[in-house]
């Protein structure tokens, strides 16, 4: 009989904080720019240069710690992690080993498979990013760009509490939303502002001891993470079933080929010879500092979900989608702020916006239209200045180019014709031109009126109000 196995997964998640300047110098963190444009003696590791801590990094790290239920370390320090690599000019990375800024937290996740569950956060520490090697095949050499060197990172280390790819995705999504709502990072896996390393081991179901784990790197999408987990789980089970032992090592996932390969066997922390950084003073976080950050914490997703239900009486499904992106939630609230009805705003987001996002293979963060223009469009439909099919057409232009709907409707002559005389004249002509449909209708085929409405709308170039067309048609047919 084959044995039953359990997958044990812990995550190390690196998040790039979106401060304006780097963690230990005044260089810009802006993405792009000329190679080595955003550098100075500190972030290129020149001898004699001294780091100065950017307080905003600490503020953001504390904000993330509070939002993930962590204890904040009131006296914390930076340590040097010593290693050589050409993208690391100091030959050490400034990180935190002994006194990380946040400890013992958790986030709550929910999956279909296991329901609600808390995933423990072992610690969150602050550190600096490294530079980037550019391999130039033409020149047959490697060059180094230090623009990213010294960009602030936090590393969020979970407890090994996850048991499936679904739980891992739920956990990452939860972290992503918390940090986005805090405005601490945009957390884009595909752009590297959020990176996840997966620690995975297998044990027999019910066993108390953990198996030997491997660490997988280079996972840059939720789909890649799910595939890598499934693959690694099978690989380890095969090894165990064949009577061999899993080797503790770092593996690199190749998502195109859908397999992983060994990079190096795992170093121990002592190999890095960590020691407290003598150039940086310890950080003392007093009550006033902590209180200030607590007072500034914005409303997070879970709180918004409850409020949207109470305040706007939206269905759970709508709330899930709207709050599933900070961008969408902000747009929703801003449009309501301009006087639009919440249910109507929700409908435009849920139906047309979601349809167009899907059609263009975009996600909610890519939305570029303004709340102002959506509110104007809703006002145009509320006042019956345009009918619903014209509104949909106008919305496509708002979505694509953020046009001003008032101007657009005016310029393209899309206003509903409210001139009853002109409409009645058209309808009389339609009735005269379609004797068969008129006879059908009068013979009891109620549906025949639909055809006549359609013909009238066509003759009016879509600019009539369907209710009014219906009413006048019935009046004229009754004559």
In 17-147 the beta strands, taken as DSSP E runs, fall at 71-72, 75-76, 79-82, 92-95, 102-111, 115-128, 132-136, 141-145
- Minimum Å gap between C-beta 42 and Zn ion is 5
Whichever of 129 and 161 has its CB closer to Zn ion, that residue is: 129
What is the 8-class DSSP label of residue 366? G
User: In 3-state terms, what secondary structure has residue 394?
Assistant: helix
* Residue 167 half-sphere exposure toward CB, CA atoms < 13 A: 24
Nearest approach, Cβ of residue 47 and Zn ion (Å): 15
Q: What gap in Å lies between CA 400 and CA 381, rounded to an integer?
A: 20
Is the CB of 50 or the CB of 133 nearer to Zn ion? 50
Closer residue to Zn ion in complex, CB, 43/345: 43
CB of 22 to Zn ion, least distance (A): 5
How many CA atoms, within 13 angstroms, populate the side-chain half-sphere of residue 383? 10
> To the nearest whole angstrom, how small is the minimum distance from the Cβ of residue 78 to Zn ion?
17
CB atoms within 10 A of CB 318: 19
Cβ closer to Zn ion: 39 or 193? 39
Among 19-27, 227-235, 429-437, 438-446, the segment contacting Zn ion (CB under 5 A): 19-27
**Smaller CB separation from Zn ion, 43 or 58:** 43
Residue carrying structure tokens 């899309």 = 414
Residues in 381-440 that interact with Zn ion by CB under 5 A: none
Smallest distance, Zn ion to C-beta of residue 39, A: 5
Burial 449-477 (b: 16+ CB within 10 A, else e): bebbbebbbeebeebbbbebbbebbeeeb
Based on CB atoms, which residue is closest to Zn ion, 22 or 122?
A: 22
For 328, the enclosing helix (H) or strand (E) is helix 326-337
Nearest distance, CB of residue 107 and Zn ion, angstroms: 33
CB of 245 to Zn ion, least distance (A): 46
DSSP per residue over 148-186, as a string? TTT-EEEEEEE-S-B-SHHHHHHHHHHHHHHHHHHTS--
Which is nearest to 84 in space by CA: 274, 272, 278?
272
DSSP per position, 260-294: EEEEEEPPPGGGG--EE-TTSPPEE--HHHHHHHH
Q: Which is nearer to Zn ion, 94 or 168 (CB)?
A: 94
Site for Zn ion in 447-466 (CB under 5 A): none
Q: Which is nearer to Zn ion, 90 or 325 (CB)?
A: 90
151 is a contact residue toward Zn ion (CB under 5 A): no
Count the residues of the shown chain that bind Zn ion, applying the rule CB under 5 A.
5
Q: In this complex, which beta carbon is closest to Zn ion, that of residue 68 or of residue 95?
A: 95
Which residues from 20-59 bind Zn ion, rule CB under 5 A?
Answer: 25, 27, 40, 42-43
Shortest Å, Cβ 268 to Zn ion: 31
Run of H or E including 407: helix 405-411
Pick between residue 80 and residue 103 the one whose CB is nearest to Zn ion: 80
Q: Is 388 helix (H, G, I), strand (E, B) or coil?
A: helix
Minimum separation from the CB atom of position 21 to Zn ion (A): 8
* CA 269 to each of CA 62, 103, 274, 284, 420: distance values in angstroms, whole numbers, following the listed order: 25, 18, 8, 26, 82
Both tokens of 431, joined, read: 């009735």
Q: In angstroms, give the least distance from the CB of 150 to Zn ion.
A: 6
Interface positions with Zn ion (CB under 5 A): 25, 27, 40, 42-43
């Amino acid at each position: 009989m084959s044995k039953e196995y359990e997958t044990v997964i812990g995550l190390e998640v690196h998040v790039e904080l979106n401060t304006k300047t780097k963690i230990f110098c005044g260089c810009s963190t802006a993405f792009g720019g000329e190679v080595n444009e955003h550098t100075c003696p500190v972030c290129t590791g020149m001898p004699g240069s001294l780091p100065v801590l950017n307080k905003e990094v600490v503020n953001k790290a504390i904000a993330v710690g509070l939002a993930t239920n962590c204890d904040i370390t009131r006296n914390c320090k930076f340590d040097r992690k010593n290693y050589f690599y050409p993208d690391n000019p100091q030959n050490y990375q400034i990180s935190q080993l002994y006194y990380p800024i946040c400890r013992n937290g958790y986030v709550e996740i929910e999956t279909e498979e296991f329901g609600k569950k808390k995933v423990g956060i072992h610690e969150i520490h602050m550190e600096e990013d490294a530079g980037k090697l550019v391999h130039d095949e033409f020149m047959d050499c490697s060059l180094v760009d230090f623009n990213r060197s010294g960009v602030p990172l936090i590393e969020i280390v979970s407890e090994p509490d996850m048991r499936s790819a679904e739980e891992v995705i739920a956990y990452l999504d939860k972290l992503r939303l918390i940090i986005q709502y805090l405005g601490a990072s945009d957390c884009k896996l595909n752009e590297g502002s959020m990176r996840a390393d997966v620690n995975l081991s297998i044990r027999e179901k019910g066993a108390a001891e953990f198996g030997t784990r491997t660490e997988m790197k280079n996972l840059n999408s939720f789909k890649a993470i799910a595939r890598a987990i499934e693959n690694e789980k099978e690989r380890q089970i095969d090894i165990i079933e064949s009577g061999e032992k899993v080797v503790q090592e770092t593996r690199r996932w190749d998502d195109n080929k859908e397999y992983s390969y060994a990079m190096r066997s795992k170093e121990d922390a002592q190999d890095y010879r960590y020691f407290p950084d003598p150039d940086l003073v310890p950080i003392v976080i007093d009550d006033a500092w902590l209180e200030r950050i607590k007072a500034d914490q914005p409303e997070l997703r879970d709180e918004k979900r409850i409020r949207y239900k109470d305040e706007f009486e939206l269905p759970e499904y709508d709330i899930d989608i709207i709050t599933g992106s900070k961008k969408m939630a902000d747009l929703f609230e801003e449009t309501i702020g301009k006087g639009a009805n919440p249910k109507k705003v929700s409908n435009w987001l849920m139906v047309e916006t979601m349809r167009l996002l899907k059609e263009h293979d975009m996600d909610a963060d890519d939305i570029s239209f303004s709340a102002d223009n959506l509110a104007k469009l809703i006002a145009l439909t509320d006042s019956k200045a345009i009918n619903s099919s014209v509104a949909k057409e106008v919305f496509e232009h708002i979505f694509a180019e953020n046009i001003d709907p008032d101007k657009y409707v005016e310029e393209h002559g899309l206003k509903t014709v409210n001139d009853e005389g002109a409409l009645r004249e058209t309808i009389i002509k339609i009735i005269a031109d379609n004797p068969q449909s008129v006879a059908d209708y009068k013979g009891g085929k109620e549906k025949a009126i639909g055809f006549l409405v359609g013909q009238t709308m066509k003759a009016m170039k879509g600019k009539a109000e369907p209710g009014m067309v219906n009413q006048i048609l019935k009046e004229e047919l009754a004559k």
